[in-house]
Structure 1
Amino acid sequence: MSAAGRTGHERDRARAGEVRGAVIADLRSTLHRVPMPRPWSPDMTGIHLVVTRLTTGDGRTGTGFSWAPWVGGPAVHALLESDVRDAALGLPAHPEVVFDRLWWHLHEAGRGGLVTIALAAVDLALWDLRAAADGLVDTLGRRRDAVPVYGSGVNRHYSLDELVAQAERWAALGRTAAKIKVGRDDLAEDVERVAAVRRVLGPDARLMVDANQLWDLPRAIRAAEALRPYDPYWIEEPLPAEDVPAYARLRASVDVPIALGENTYTAYQFRDLLTAGACDIVQPNVVRVGGITPFLRIAELARTFDVPAYPHLLPDISGQLACCLPMPAMVEDVEDASFAALGLLTEPHPIRIEGGLLYPGDHGGHGIRFDADALAATAVERPGYSGG
């Protein structure tokens, strides 16, 4: 039943589950490798997905997930089935309390990275429970009914003709904003490719470029100047993500907005970026930072610096979060890479995209309901693991 279809009494009962002091009674996770119809590189043809089912002592269940597009999926799964599960059982089914306790309990294994990626599965499951009555957007506080979406692609390995064809597909779908990869060995090739996409999208479209940490500071400064005629809306991750002083120097040297944060894991790290004046836009990934709880804290922190938070990837959940952020944001839709596009979800899907706008659906919880057949077809059995 949708959130709108519930009676007031039913909504009150759903909300009361947390108030009654329900605790986490069980936590089980499964590992999946999902093939991608549009590979992100010649050797990256699939992603790892970890799906988590959390059960409370009063019998309610919530669904969470973690996601690792390159490496780490089996390690995240192992962490969830061992240390995370052991520490979570018996805790109150309260997202903020659980995140803080588990993050502190697990910090010796790392304060970010695998730890926060694993914690995201628990946090998302708890928010699925908290939002069961009204849906995630209205539980968090709806600030807008739709958000802009930009076409995106992992396309550095595409030929120029393939890249232009992708831009033409975005234009045909009504996208008024798009992002492409840069960082080829010859800067002149990057300029040629950006110029070609700009011609397809037209002068009024927002065109972003993403270097994925491939440049050093002098090259980034030269690239920003070379790309200036094509009016880049932002340059994303031009330098190694951890090099905060270099980002501050770059931002002071160029007049193109700098975006980063997809490889930043904790609120403390985001604080350091912001206080250093290292960026104009932060891009927290809801899984990499540990879930909705820390994502919201990071967005509020960025707000105090007048810096917008643009959710990174995962439009099925990021689109809903963007509708609730204190500052307007756009949502990234990598071609054929959302959970819905990968065939992992049952209908109705949690979001829909029409032209250049993304709309959240009418559902309880976060609305991400994985298709049982799709999960069965992609399940990975780890040696020595009997399943959960």
Structure 2
Amino acid sequence: MPRLRLPIERIEAIPARVPTIRPHHLSFATVDAMDVVIVRVTAGGVVGYGEASTIGGPRWGEESPEGIAAIVGTYLAEAMLGQDAAQLNLAEARIARAVRGNFFAKAALSMALHDAVARAGGIRLADLLGGPQAIHLPLAWTLASGDTARDIEEGERMLALRRHRDFKLKIGAHAPEDDVAHVAAIARAFEGRASVRVDVNQAWDEPTAARFLPALAGAGVAMAEQPVAAWNVAAMARLQRANPRLAIMGDEGIATPQDALRHVTEAACHAVALKPAKHGGVAGTRAVAAIARSAGLGLYGGTMLEGTIGTLAALHLYTTLGDHAWGTELFGPLLLRDTLATSGIEFRDFAIHLPEGPGIGTELDEDKLGFFRTDRSRTSLPA
């Protein structure tokens, strides 16, 4: 069988901003629109798509949408144009060497290349990666209005729709006492019907976490994500030992395989939040997941609230990684008022479902991209 050759002919990175259906409150910002960068790669005449998303721009991490677009469109394009996209291992190694850091930019290009190669072969991205071990994954939802009654009402609606029965609450922006009271009320409301987790997004120091994590565990909270600063792995380990009834999840602190290995060595968490964006793409995500699985840590399919394109790319990848003990959080498209893709994702029976079709299973809606892109004057949608 002749080897597939796909010389990379064009790489584009287009920033866009899509409004959310409601304000999304985090410890560091309130988000009412998502900044995304769509990466479009043409290789051997086949087009593949990737997406990077930043929650609140660079307020979450070091990369901004403008910076991601610039890195992809200049330094990464310079390194990759003319290379064979079908040689994915070489391509990922070349991307990794081309620039330091900039994991979101690398991930978007990695996903676009994998999408193009899968499309060229007429297969799903998951099949290119060895085949899915599941065709659907559990789907959590973040209750982030900040209002207890409103969050309970929203959760009840999600249960009635059979869309979500795992709820995460973003805390850390208010006094810890108030946050704990808010979480406890919601946990009581859903006791026996849904799980409740919290994400502190690094907002607490160790003494604060040591004081309030036991109260969260006592309220029935199952998991606490990144309660302290990403660098403070020793504190994560102490908090995990002190709270055996509460799973501690590493997120911002686990970007590289070396980060994952350190958390394993220091027994600093029981679970790992995967995100292709923070791991730099497909290869980095698989490496982190392999370390976590080898140590018996639970996997969680995280999100940077990507739209349909980035969410589908992550879903294809996650389905190939084995059991996700903590499910996934791939609800980004449900939080957005519109989509940049031509088809949606199937969300039902408390799960997100893998689509058929080549590549990630959808196409880029060029008209919508033209409307929402931020690097030039906005155009009008067709009548």
**Normalised-by-shorter TM-score class:** 0.7 to 0.9
- 2:363, 2:185 → 1: CA distance? 39
For structure 2, list consecutive stretches of 5 or more residues without a partner in the other structure. 58-63, 378-383
1:128 maps to amino acid: D
For structure 1, list consecutive stretches of 5 or more residues without a partner in the other structure. 1-11, 384-388
The answer to whether the 8 A contact 1:131-1:364 is kept is: yes
Distance apart, 1:161 and its partner CA:
2.2
Question: After superposition, what is the alpha-carbon deviation per residue over 1:71-104, rounded to whole angstroms, capped at 9, x for unaligned?
Answer: 2000111111111111111222133212212212
2:83 is equivalent to residue 91 of structure 1: yes
Match of 2:144 among 147, 154, 174: 154
Q: Which moved more, 1:166-175 or 1:209-218?
A: 166-175
Q: Which moved more, 1:225-234 or 1:322-331?
A: 322-331
Distance apart, 1:262 and its partner CA:
4.3
Question: After superposition, what is the alpha-carbon deviation per residue over 1:30-61, rounded to whole angstroms, capped at 9, x for unaligned?
Answer: 111222221224853212111111112x3222
What is residue 191 of structure 1 aligned with on the other side?
Answer: 180
Distance apart, 1:215 and its partner CA:
0.8
Give the alignment's Cα RMSD to 1 decimal: 2.2
The answer to whether the 8 A contact 2:168-2:198 is kept is: yes
Query: Counterparts in 2 of 1:98-177, with a 5 A limit?
Result: 98-107=91-100, 111=101, 115-132=102-119, 133-140=122-129, 141-155=131-145, 158-174=146-162, 175-177=164-166
Distance apart, 1:134 and its partner CA:
2.0
Match of 2:328 among 325, 328, 331: 331
- Length, aligned pairs only: 355
What is residue 5 of structure 1 aligned with on the other side?
Answer: none
- 1:245, 1:309 → 2: CA distance? 21
Match of 1:299 among 279, 286, 289: 289
The answer to whether the 8 A contact 2:140-2:167 is kept is: yes
- 1:274, 1:30 → 2: CA distance? 38
- 1:368, 1:263 → 2: CA distance? 32
Distance apart, 1:229 and its partner CA:
2.4
Question: After superposition, what is the alpha-carbon deviation per residue over 1:148-176, rounded to whole angstroms, capped at 9, x for unaligned?
Answer: 11121333xx2222222222222222222
Distance apart, 1:368 and its partner CA:
4.0
What is residue 34 of structure 1 aligned with on the other side?
Answer: 18
What is residue 7 of structure 1 aligned with on the other side?
Answer: none
- 1:316, 1:257 → 2: CA distance? 27
2:369 is equivalent to residue 375 of structure 1: yes
What is residue 225 of structure 2 aligned with on the other side?
Answer: 236
Question: After superposition, what is the alpha-carbon deviation per residue over 1:314-371, rounded to whole angstroms, capped at 9, x for unaligned?
Answer: 44333333322123341114476456x6322212x3x311131221111110124222
- 1:287, 1:185 → 2: CA distance? 28
Match of 2:171 among 159, 182, 195: 182
Shift >6 Å, 4+ stretches? none
The answer to whether the 8 A contact 1:214-1:238 is kept is: yes
The answer to whether the 8 A contact 1:31-1:48 is kept is: yes
Distance apart, 1:219 and its partner CA:
1.3
> Residue 162 and residue 338 in structure 1: after superposition, are their counterparts in 2 closer, same or farther (change >3 A)?
closer
2:237 is equivalent to residue 251 of structure 1: no
What is residue 4 of structure 1 aligned with on the other side?
Answer: none
1:96 maps to amino acid: N
Match of 1:358 among 352, 355, 361: 352
- SS of the equivalent of 2:196 reads strand
- 1:135, 1:223 → 2: CA distance? 45
The answer to whether the 8 A contact 1:176-1:201 is kept is: no
2:77 is equivalent to residue 78 of structure 1: no
> Residue 211 and residue 124 in structure 1: after superposition, are their counterparts in 2 closer, same or farther (change >3 A)?
same
1:298 maps to amino acid: V
- 2:210, 2:323 → 1: CA distance? 28
- 1:25, 1:335 → 2: CA distance? 30
